[in-house]
């Protein structure tokens, strides 16, 4: 395993450097997919199924096709030759149903793409969509994952004998024996509703086919341009070196754009068919409807413990609502819940049984946190229940079960090796910051006056910085190229594909420090397969730990090669060359060489050192030896209004450890956004369908994403335990807040009502749900 070296903090690394991306983003000069225009560009729109389950008996396109301005109307028949939308799952029991880019003879969910129109503008395209006549024979549907598993449930896919998409079992230790020997057993069942990822920029594609070069140029709002390039080549039967994918500015993804979408291949197919550039921009309604929802779980966790509070075993059951078919990572996501179910606790025995179930609903897939928020939520609920049962302080119970700081790397029963940590330290700071003991006194007093105060604790562990290649379906490395121009300007090319996180800033900080150049001299290029030759993408909090490390390694190579040049030019021995703040020097000679002078020498190559090639450029791949494991503690205090059920967050304390920090400002932003996306489903957010699979929260007038005014002030602090798995010592921060926040809120509200006998409330904890409970309890 690599040894840890904390990055030097002589210049930019570790400082709150302002984002280099921001000037163009906030002045409206950035280019998103919808800003791309090409000569002769046409527009596509998609007709989607109004039924959750139906056979298509006929489609008549004549009316639509005859509208002035319509270039083409495509149905499933026309695009039959295009390969299926890929699913990367590989468990032996996995069923992968038919997933063509347009429905063939059946639709499986409301929103299923049925036909597409290409027209002169978006308005005509939409008019034509309305003119396509489809005759459906609606069939019975099932829109609830638990009902879908009942023996008499209708089958989403008649070709299978039930609705099970896959099963997955994992275990460690001897769970049955631990339960048999346990002093206490507690359990809870939680539902985690579907969430709409809702990036500010919806999906969008522009595709253009060059008949001369036979190159397909694709702009897509994606987190994974390189993987998309490969997949499009496969789906469209093109040589991969004839496909170029550009992810221009991407306005958020939260995992929803870490996917390969039917509409991507569809837009490309049409562009190749019509030999004209085509743009497709998803509207917000489509985004809420069909962009793979996150979560969609029914989870059950049983916990065994001894009297002294030692947690000994877990039995975990997950029901994952798959929807009508898989997307890229659908079956893989809930396995992340399985491996992280022990959280930060030393639990030696566990079994987990995961069942993926088809429903007549849109697909689910990754969304910020992906499996880990679900696991942490049910775990932290059950830990509170255990404390209650043992009449033990819930903070003390948690402290008792953490591994000590000197037990790392810590091997979990689920087969992971937690890289580094000091869990008690972060947790104790959080307790201290919230004033734990004094709050409990205040709560007692308030209760006696009828006020409902609560405090909720959540500790969380996260597996991220994906990750060692064997653990991922398509490689877990990242690549970077650093090119020094003849004038000494520095171009960094990364295979990661940041889409709002501030990766350009972080990589510029690394480059500026390593080469002793001003940050303005660094340009970071990413998200273009034509410019960056290799890449995996940005997801799973890997941008810094993996992407940043590749940049770091390439920078080291540049410095090493630079030293060879310097030794030769300065006429000094290689060992004596120092490189500091952009100056090459040696104690053997007076003369010095600036980085810029050296860059020119490397380009003109007049004084080429022996065994050295011209040019100052380096490409490196970083393959991590392990995941990284951030952790932390979030504590939330609330007051519940007994008359209305409304919950006010009084204080929100977050102590996170994400390893070494390149830019605290970027980290704060990630944590704040993460907390918001964890709190949203705690009390507001939920995708709701009717029993017949109709979406009831189809616009932002009904789907409640958290807004700034709904958010508490976040009192954030960090401990720093560098990760030993990469030379930057970085772990990852994209998902931490989302994982930690939800259980803290839920535990706080349950705590506020615990004296009434309330043990659990399902999320989202809307005022109505909370009031109903209070009302029931006060009447009984």
Partner 1 sequence: MIAASFDYSAPETLADALRVLSDDPEAKILAGGQSLIPIMKLRLSIPSQVVDLGGIIDLHAIAEEEGIIRIGSMTTHEQVEHSELLSEKCPLLVAAASGIGDVQVRNRGTIGGSVAHADPAADYPAALQALDAKVKVVSSAGEKIIPIDEFIVDALTTALEPDEIITEIHVPTESTGIGTAYETIVQPASGYAIVGVAARIGLSEGNISFARVGITGVGSKAYRALAVEKALEGQPAKDDTYGIASRVAAEGVEALEDLHASSEYRAHLATVFTCRAIAAAAGRAQ
Name the site residues for partner 1 (rule: CB under 8 A). 45, 122-123, 125-127, 130, 283-285, 643-644, 646, 684, 688, 696-697, 699-705, 710, 766-768, 771-772, 775
Q: Which is nearer to partner 1, 259 or 697 (CB)?
A: 697
Question: Smallest distance, Å, CB 19 to partner 1?
Answer: 25
Count Cβ atoms below 10 Å from residue 275 Cβ, excluding itself. 11
Question: Smallest distance, Å, CB 712 to partner 1?
Answer: 15
Residues in the chain: 780
The rounded distance, in Å, linking the Cα atoms of 762 and 749 is: 11
Residue 531 near residue 502 (C-beta atoms within 8 A): no
Q: Which is nearer to partner 1, 134 or 555 (CB)?
A: 134
Q: Which is nearer to partner 1, 503 or 645 (CB)?
A: 645
Question: Smallest distance, Å, CB 689 to partner 1?
Answer: 11
Question: Smallest distance, Å, CB 360 to partner 1?
Answer: 20
Cβ neighbours of residue 425 closer than 8 Å, sequence gap 6 or more = 405, 719
Q: Which is nearer to partner 1, 645 or 737 (CB)?
A: 645
The rounded distance, in Å, linking the Cα atoms of 764 and 721 is: 34
Q: Which is nearer to partner 1, 578 or 644 (CB)?
A: 644
Question: Smallest distance, Å, CB 120 to partner 1?
Answer: 13
Q: Which is nearer to partner 1, 329 or 763 (CB)?
A: 763
> How far out from the chain centre does Cα 739 lie?
11
Question: Within 13 Å and on the Cβ side, how many CA atoms surround 486?
Answer: 5
Q: At what angle do helices 736-753 and 372-390 cross, to 10 degrees?
A: 30
Question: Smallest distance, Å, CB 691 to partner 1?
Answer: 14
Nearest to 664 by CA among 615, 720, 617: 720
The rounded distance, in Å, linking the Cα atoms of 385 and 750 is: 10
By CB neighbour count within 10 A (0-12 exposed, 13-18 middle, 19+ buried), where does 248 fall?
buried
CA distances from 314 to 143, 166, 185, 345, 393 (A): 30, 22, 10, 11, 21
The rounded distance, in Å, linking the Cα atoms of 551 and 492 is: 7
By CB neighbour count within 10 A (0-12 exposed, 13-18 middle, 19+ buried), where does 161 fall?
exposed
The rounded distance, in Å, linking the Cα atoms of 427 and 396 is: 10
- For residue 755 the two structure tokens come to 């004296």
Question: Smallest distance, Å, CB 129 to partner 1?
Answer: 9
Question: Smallest distance, Å, CB 281 to partner 1?
Answer: 10
Question: Smallest distance, Å, CB 95 to partner 1?
Answer: 33
Question: Smallest distance, Å, CB 202 to partner 1?
Answer: 10
Q: Which is nearer to partner 1, 68 or 470 (CB)?
A: 68
CA distances from 461 to 320, 380, 418, 477, 633 (A): 21, 11, 9, 22, 9
CA distances from 355 to 91, 146, 150, 165, 407 (A): 12, 11, 13, 7, 34
Question: Smallest distance, Å, CB 126 to partner 1?
Answer: 4
């Amino acid at each position: 395993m690599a040894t840890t070296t904390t990055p030097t903090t002589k210049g930019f690394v570790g400082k709150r450097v302002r984002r280099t991306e921001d000037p163009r983003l906030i002045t409206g000069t950035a280019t998103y997919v919808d800003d791309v225009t090409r000569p002769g560009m046409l527009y596509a729109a998609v007709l989607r199924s109004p039924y959750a389950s139906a056979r298509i008996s006929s489609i008549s396109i004549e009316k639509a096709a005859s509208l002035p301005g319509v270039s083409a109307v495509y149905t499933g028949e026309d695009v039959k030759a295009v390969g299926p939308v890929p699913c990367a799952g590989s468990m032996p029991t996995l069923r992968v149903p038919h997933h063509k880019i347009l429905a063939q003879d059946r639709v499986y969910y409301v929103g299923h793409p049925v036909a597409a129109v290409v027209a002169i503008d978006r308005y005509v395209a939409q008019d034509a969509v309305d003119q396509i006549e489809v005759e459906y024979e609606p069939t019975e549907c099932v829109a609830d994952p638990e009902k879908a598993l009942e023996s008499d449930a209708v089958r989403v896919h008649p070709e299978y004998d039930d609705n099970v998409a896959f099963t997955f079992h994992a275990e460690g230790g001897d769970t049955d024996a631990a339960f048999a020997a346990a002093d206490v057993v507690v359990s809870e069942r939680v539902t985690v509703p579907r969430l709409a990822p809702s990036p500010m920029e919806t999906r969008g594609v522009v595709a253009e086919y060059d008949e001369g070069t036979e190159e397909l140029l694709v702009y897509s709002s994606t987190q994974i341009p390189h993987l998309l390039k490969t997949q499009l080549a496969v789906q469209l039967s093109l040589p991969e070196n004839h496909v170029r994918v550009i992810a221009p500015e991407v306005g958020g993804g939260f995992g929803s754009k870490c996917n390969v979408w039917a509409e991507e291949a569809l837009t490309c197919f049409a562009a190749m068919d019509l030999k004209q550039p085509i743009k497709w921009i998803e509207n917000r309604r489509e985004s809420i409807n069909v962009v793979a929802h996150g979560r969609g779980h029914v989870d059950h966790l049983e916990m065994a413990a001894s009297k002294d509070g030692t947690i000994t075993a877990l039995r975990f059951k997950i029901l994952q609502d798959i929807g009508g078919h898989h997307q890229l990572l659908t079956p893989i996501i809930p396995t992340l819940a399985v491996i992280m179910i022990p959280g930060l606790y030393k639990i030696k025995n566990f079994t987990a049984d995961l069942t993926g179930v088809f429903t007549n609903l849109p697909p689910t897939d990754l969304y910020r946190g992906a499996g880990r928020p679900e696991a942490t939520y049910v775990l932290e609920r059950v830990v509170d229940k255990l404390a209650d049962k043992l009449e033990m302080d819930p903070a003390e119970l948690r402290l008792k079960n953490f591994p000590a700081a000197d037990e790392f790397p810590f091997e979990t029963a689920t087969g992971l090796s937690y890289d580094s940590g000091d869990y008690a330290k972060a947790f104790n700071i959080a307790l201290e910051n919230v004033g734990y003991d004094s709050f409990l006194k205040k709560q007692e007093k308030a209760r006696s006056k009828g006020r409902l105060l609560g405090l909720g604790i959540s500790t969380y562990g996260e597996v991220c910085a994906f990750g060692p290649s064997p653990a991922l379906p398509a490689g877990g490395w990242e690549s970077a190229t650093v090119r020094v121009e003849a004038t000494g300007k520095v171009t960094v090319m990364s295979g990661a594909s940041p889409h709002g996180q501030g990766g350009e800033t972080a990589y510029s900080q690394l480059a500026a420090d390593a080469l002793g150049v001003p940050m303005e001299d660094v340009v970071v290029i990413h998200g273009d397969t034509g410019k960056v030759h290799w890449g995996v993408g940005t997801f799973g909090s890997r941008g810094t730990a993996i992407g940043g490390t590749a940049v770091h390694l390439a920078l080291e190579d540049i410095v090493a090669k630079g030293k060879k040049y310097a030794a030769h030019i300065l006429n000094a021995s290689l060992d004596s060359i120092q490189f500091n703040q952009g100056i090459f020097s040696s104690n053997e000679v007076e003369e010095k060489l600036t980085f810029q002078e050296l860059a020119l020498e490397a380009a003109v190559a007049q004084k080429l050192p022996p065994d050295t090639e011209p040019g100052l450029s380096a490409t490196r791949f970083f393959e991590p030896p392990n995941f990284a494991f951030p952790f932390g503690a979030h504590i939330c205090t609330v007051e519940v209004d007994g008359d209305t059920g409304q919950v006010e967050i009084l204080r929100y304390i977050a102590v996170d450890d994400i390893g070494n920090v390149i830019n605290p400002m970027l980290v704060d932003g990630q944590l704040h956004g993460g907390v918001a996306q964890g709190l949203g489903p705690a009390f507001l957010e939920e995708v709701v369908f009717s029993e017949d699979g109709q979406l009831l929260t189809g616009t932002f007038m009904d789907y409640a994403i958290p807004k700034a005014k709904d958010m508490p002030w976040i009192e954030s602090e960090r401990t720093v335990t560098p990760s030993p798995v990469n030379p930057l010592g970085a772990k990852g921060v994209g998902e931490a807040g989302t994982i930690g926040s939800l259980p803290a809120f839920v535990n706080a509200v349950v705590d506020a009502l615990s004296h009434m006998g309330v043990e659990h409330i399902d999320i989202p904890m809307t005022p109505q749900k909370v009031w109903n409970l209070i009302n029931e309890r006060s009447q009984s």
